[in-house]
Amino acid sequence: MKRFLSGLNIAIVAIEVVVAVALVALAAGVMFTLATEMLHLATSGALVTSSRFNVIIGTVLEIFILVELFRIAIAYMKHENVIPTVLEAALVAVARKFVVFEGSENYLQTALGMSALLLAVAVSWWMLSRSQACDLHE
């Protein structure tokens, strides 16, 4: 039984490492996409439209989201409390949606939903800080 559990532990550690490496590869791919987009803009001499600007800003924020996910993976691998890092990643993801928010046919409904989501994450962050259950990254 000990051998079996040891094998499972090795498999879990391997999966954690694969996930961390995949996140780094994804971040590198998104950074390459951003670099090619910026190079194309610099060489074309075209003006940046609002939709193109949203794409560039969205790409930058995707990199930050991937960095936060990588931090979650590392904290998990170190057996640290991941709740503050998860909340930080949630804040970055919701902020990304607000920054690149474009109107849709259900504009008010979408805006209210995103506002409720932001409020929920902020209240969760506040409650966690008040409970002093773990150290928040400040």
**Concatenated DSSP letters of the chain:** -HHHHHHHHHHHHHHHHHHHHHHHHHHHHHHHHHHHHHHHHHHH-PPPPHHHHHHHHHHHHHHHHHHHHHHHHHHHHTT---HHHHHHHHHHHHHHHHHT----TTHHHHHHHHHHHHHHHHHHHHHHHHHTSS----
| 31 token code pair | 């950074």
What pLDDT band is residue 133 in, cutting at 50, 70 and 90?
Answer: low
| 29 token code pair | 């791919």
What pLDDT band is residue 134 in, cutting at 50, 70 and 90?
Answer: low
At 101 the pLDDT is: 75
At 49 the pLDDT is: 81
Which has more confidence, 46 or 59? 59
At 107 the pLDDT is: 81
| 84 token code pair | 């503050």
